[in-house]
């Protein structure tokens, strides 16, 4: 009797095996991995023709970055640059051509709000132990096969449950809560750029910090305008391969690299996130090239987080990333010269802590999202007085 590989893995109880023995169970798969299971071809040139709502609803805002020719519009917010005829919807599902104008229909109707520890973003060098108001709209300009929030990112704004919360209401609510920061997160904030931009501008006027948690797939002009109000960013560098970006995520590498360079030039603090997906992004040579680019273009001080993958969405046939692979990649990054390299999604691992790059002493101890110990004073190591890159203080 023939069975599929997915059925075979399930019969072995891979999920349980990886939890009970996270290194060895996954390492067996890693050493014997086959050709990757699938490639994402659904996004190339794909827009939703004739899929726009027949009428504008109250949660609509004319887009800030687009051009038009007759009744056709072209969105310039992200590098997809969708060309839409009247009645069409963009790749991110959030932009429509209505009567020859481009509108965002993800404005003031968030589908998720929550108060999170800043470490959850993850941001480890950005006001540790602080709390941040997280907000999301439906939609995304990527189609990641491993998406963890696909229930909102791969949906149209009108397909999810939402609340009414316009930018001025967001700021008023945060002030009532006594919080000092907003994260645009969970889905892809580039897809609801207008809502993020307007909220960030009002928040900045009230002394509230703004953090973008993003795939970084955004055009230069919209990003430069947004940087005036951004304080921090957590950017996913999915891989260091344009081919893999197209296959796994439905995007391209170069625009994301450009985003990092712009954020650095504009003084926005950011941390780099790399999810290690078995059979896709678990290539040591590729990681070494990625670290080489980071050192050359960004320098050694921006933290790099290697995150453990868990099976979900369209990659449920894969096992979790072996912890040994994450540890190997961390060693590569440190040997290349990156000062702060973390392992994520592995609770209790010592590489979730922060250690001084000069003296090696423990600076920040982390137990999940709980921070029992911080040895940074006035932005410096308490032991050797070395300046520690990041944003510190209350």
For the chain, which residues make up each domain, given as ranges?
112-352
Question: Which has the minimum average pLDDT: 4-8, 245-249, 293-297?
Answer: 4-8
pTM of the complete model? 0.90
Contact between residue 175 and residue 206 where contact means Cβ atoms under 8 Å apart: yes
- Number of Cβ atoms within 10 Å of the Cβ of 363: 24
**What's the distance, CA 3 to chain centroid?**
36
Q: Which two structure tokens, joined as six digits, stand for 71?
A: 């009744």
Between the CA of residue 42 and those of 45, 91, 254, what are the distances in Å?
Answer: 9, 10, 20
Can you tell me the mean pLDDT for 30-53?
64
The whole-angstrom separation of Cα 171 and Cα 173 is: 5
Q: Output the six-digit token pair for 231.
A: 């304080």
* Percent of the residues in the chain that have a pLDDT greater than 90, as a whole number: 88
Return the half-sphere exposure (C-beta side, CA atoms, 13 A cut-off) of residue 381. Answer: 17
Phi, psi of 163 (to 5 degrees): -120, 165
Q: Which pLDDT score is estimated for 38?
A: 66
Q: What's the Cα-to-Cα distance from 335 to each of 244, 257, 291, rounded to whole Å? A: 25, 22, 10
Average pLDDT over residues 157-184: 97
Q: Is the pLDDT of residue 6 over 50?
A: no
What separation, in Å, do the N-terminal and C-terminal C-alpha atoms of the chain show?
A: 63
Residue 122: both structure tokens together = 């993850």
Q: What is the mean pLDDT of residues 93-109?
A: 97
pLDDT of 41 reads: 58
Instruction: Write out the DSSP string of 193-238.
Output: HHHHHHHHHHHHHTT-EEEEEE-----HHHHHHHHTT--EEEEE--
User: Is residue 46 very low, low, confident or very high in pLDDT (cuts 50, 70, 90)?
Assistant: confident
Q: Pseudo-torsion of CA 150, 344, 383, 377, nearest 10°?
A: 10
Q: How far is CA 370 from CA 115, 131, 373, in A?
A: 15, 12, 9
175 φ/ψ angles, rounded to the nearest 5 degrees: -65, -40
Closest listed residue to residue 114, CA positions, set 187, 65, 62: 187
Q: From the centroid of its chain, how far is CA 206?
A: 26
Q: How many residues does the chain have?
A: 394
Give burial (CB, 10 Å; 0-12/13-18/19+) of 340. buried
- Spatial separation of the C-alpha atoms in residues 108 and 143, rounded to whole Å: 24
* C-alpha to C-alpha distance for 301 and 59, rounded to whole angstroms: 40
Residue 24 makes CB contacts below 8 A (sequence gap 6+) with 322
In CATH terms, 112-352 corresponds, of 3.20.20.70, 2.60.40.10, 1.10.357.10, 3.40.50.360, to: 3.20.20.70
Sole residue written with tokens 């750029």: 193
303-358: pLDDT as tens digits:
999 999 999 999 999 999 999 999 999 999 999 999 999 999 999 999 999 999 99
Residue pLDDT, tens place only, 221-269: 999 999 999 999 999 999 999 999 999 999 999 999 999 999 999 999 9
Measured CA distances, 182 to 211, 228, 233, 294, 383 (Å)? 6, 15, 11, 27, 33
Is residue 366 a contact partner of residue 353, using CB atoms and an 8 Å limit? yes
């Amino acid at each position: 009797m023939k069975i599929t590989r997915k059925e075979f893995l399930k019969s072995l109880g891979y999920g349980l095996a990886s939890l009970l023995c996270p290194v060895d169970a996954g390492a067996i798969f890693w050493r014997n991995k086959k050709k990757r299971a699938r490639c994402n071809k659904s996004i190339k040139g794909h827009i939703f023709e004739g899929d726009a709502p027949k009428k504008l609803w109250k949660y609509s805002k004319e887009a800030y970055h687009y051009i038009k020719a007759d009744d056709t519009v072209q969105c310039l917010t992200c590098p997809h640059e969708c060309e839409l005829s009247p009645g069409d919807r963009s790749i991110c599902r959030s932009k429509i051509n209505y009567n020859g104008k481009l509108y965002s229909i993800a404005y003031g109707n968030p589908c998720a709000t929550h108060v999170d520890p800043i470490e959850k973003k993850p941001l480890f060098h950005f006001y540790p132990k602080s709390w941040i108001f997280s907000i999301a709209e439906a939609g995304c300009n990527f189609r990641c096969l491993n998406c963890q929030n696909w229930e909102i990112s791969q949906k149209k704004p009108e397909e999810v449950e939402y609340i009414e919360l316009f930018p001025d209401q967001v700021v008023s609510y945060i002030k009532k809560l006594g919080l000092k920061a907003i994260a645009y997160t969970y889905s892809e904030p580039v897809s609801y750029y207008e809502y993020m931009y307007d909220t960030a501008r009002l928040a900045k006027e009230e002394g509230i910090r703004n953090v973008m948690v993003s795939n970084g797939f955004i055009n230069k002009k919209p990003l430069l305008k947004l940087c005036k109000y951004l304080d921090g960013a957590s950017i996913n560098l999915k891989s260091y391969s344009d081919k893999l970006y197209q296959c796994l995520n439905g995007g391209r590498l170069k625009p994301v690299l450009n985003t990092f360079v712009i954020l650095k030039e504009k003084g926005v603090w950011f941390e780099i996130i790399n999810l290690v997906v078995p059979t896709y992004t678990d290539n040591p040579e590729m990681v070494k090239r990625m670290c080489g680019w980071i050192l050359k273009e960004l320098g050694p001080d921006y933290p790099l987080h290697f995150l453990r993958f868990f099976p979900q969405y369209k990659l449920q046939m894969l096992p979790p990333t072996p912890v040994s692979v994450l540890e190997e990649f961390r060693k590569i990054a440190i040997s290349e010269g990156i000062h702060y390299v973390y392992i994520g999604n592995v609770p209790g691992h010592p590489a979730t802590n922060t250690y001084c790059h000069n003296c090696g002493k423990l600076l920040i101890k982390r137990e999940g999202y709980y921070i029992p110990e911080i040895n940074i004073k006035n932005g410096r190591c308490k032991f050797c007085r070395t300046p520690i890159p990041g944003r510190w203080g209350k």
